[in-house]
């Protein structure tokens, strides 16, 4: 079974419900794959640098997938308690891993730094990204669509392109009047997508 870490800041005041929805959606996708994945959920009370580093140390010789649904900055992922993953950590623990996140800005510096330390591929965002609380479902679907496509055999590069197409298709459903705002947010999220590392990477490479 392939190890999977899902870090989720479900208690964040503004986006906790959304982050939790993303994490639950990913969990359901993983559970549908006939026991191929061993899932470790890291919730808010354990979301700190020391706990994450302990997990990474345990997995230092393993291939794994790391999901992060929390706030982010250019060089770190963080929550109310502070940064729990930074570019100054020993990121060599991510050697031979795949990283998938909805965290703002992390594709600018953290993503490339992970790749420099042996992470195979990083799919995330290089700008501030948003969701709309009354329409969380569509934002969750868009955020996780790339991984859903990878489960079907697509490479990281193809999955990113399909994510972009899906963001556009979903945005067209919200055009007109007030809904133009939601449509615009979906398109802004699409434009912030970034893939660092190997665009030809497929999940089967980890097994």
Measure the CA–CA gap between 205 and 207, rounded to whole angstroms: 6
Q: What is the pLDDT of residue 80?
A: 83
Average pLDDT score over residue span 143-168: 99
Q: What is the pLDDT of residue 31?
A: 97
Percent of the chain clearing pLDDT 70 (strictly above)? 100
Measure the CA–CA gap between 113 and 87, rounded to whole angstroms: 6
Which residues constitute the domain of residue 126? 2-206
Average pLDDT score over residue span 112-134: 96
How far is the CA of 37 from the CAs of 26, 30, 31, 168, in angstroms? Answer: 12, 7, 7, 31
The band of 22, judged by pLDDT with boundaries at 50, 70 and 90, is very high
Q: What is the pLDDT of residue 148?
A: 98
Helix (H, G, I), strand (E, B) or coil at 76: strand
The band of 109, judged by pLDDT with boundaries at 50, 70 and 90, is very high
On the question of pLDDT at 205 being above 90, the answer is: yes
Measure the CA–CA gap between 137 and 200, rounded to whole angstroms: 29
Please state the domain count of the chain: 1
195: number of Cβ within 10 Å = 21
Q: What is the pLDDT of residue 176?
A: 79
Closest CA to 184 of 126, 131, 119: 131
Average pLDDT score over residue span 93-110: 96
pLDDT digits (tens, 9 = 90+) for 37-78: 999 999 999 999 999 999 999 998 899 999 999 999 999 999
Q: Phi and psi of 41, rounded to 5°?
A: -95, 130
Mean of pLDDT over the chain: 95
81: number of Cβ within 10 Å = 13
pLDDT digits (tens, 9 = 90+) for 164-184: 999 999 999 998 777 899 999
The band of 90, judged by pLDDT with boundaries at 50, 70 and 90, is confident
Q: Are strands 121-125 and 193-197 parallel, antiparallel or unpaired?
A: antiparallel
**102: CATH:** 3.40.50.1460
Q: Is the pTM higher than 0.75?
A: yes
CB of 49 within 8 A of CB of 16? no
Distance of CA 152 to the CA centre of its chain: 17
DSSP symbols for 132-150: -GGGHHHHHHHHHHHHHHH
């Amino acid at each position: 079974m392939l190890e999977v870490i899902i870090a989720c800041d479900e208690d964040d005041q503004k986006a906790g419900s959304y982050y939790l929805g993303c994490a639950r959606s990913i969990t359901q996708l993983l559970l549908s794959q006939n026991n191929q994945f061993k899932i470790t959920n890291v919730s808010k009370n354990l979301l700190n640098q020391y706990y994450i580093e302990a997990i990474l140390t345990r997995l230092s010789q393993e291939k794994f997938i790391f999901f992060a649904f929390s706030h982010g900055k250019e060089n770190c992922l963080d929550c109310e308690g502070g940064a729990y993953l930074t570019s100054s950590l020993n990121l060599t623990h991510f050697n031979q891993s795949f990283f998938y996140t909805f965290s703002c800005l992390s594709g600018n510096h953290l993503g490339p730094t992970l790749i420099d330390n042996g992470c195979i591929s990083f799919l995330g965002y290089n700008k501030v990204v948003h969701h709309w609380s009354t329409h969380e479902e569509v934002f969750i679907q868009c955020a996780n669509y790339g991984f859903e496509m990878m489960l079907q055999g697509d490479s990281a590069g193809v999955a990113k392109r399909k994510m972009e197409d899906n963001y556009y298709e979903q945005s067209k459903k919200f055009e007109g009047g007030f809904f133009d705002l939601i449509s615009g947010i979906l398109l802004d999220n699409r434009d912030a997508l970034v893939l660092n590392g190997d665009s030809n990477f497929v999940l089967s490479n980890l097994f």
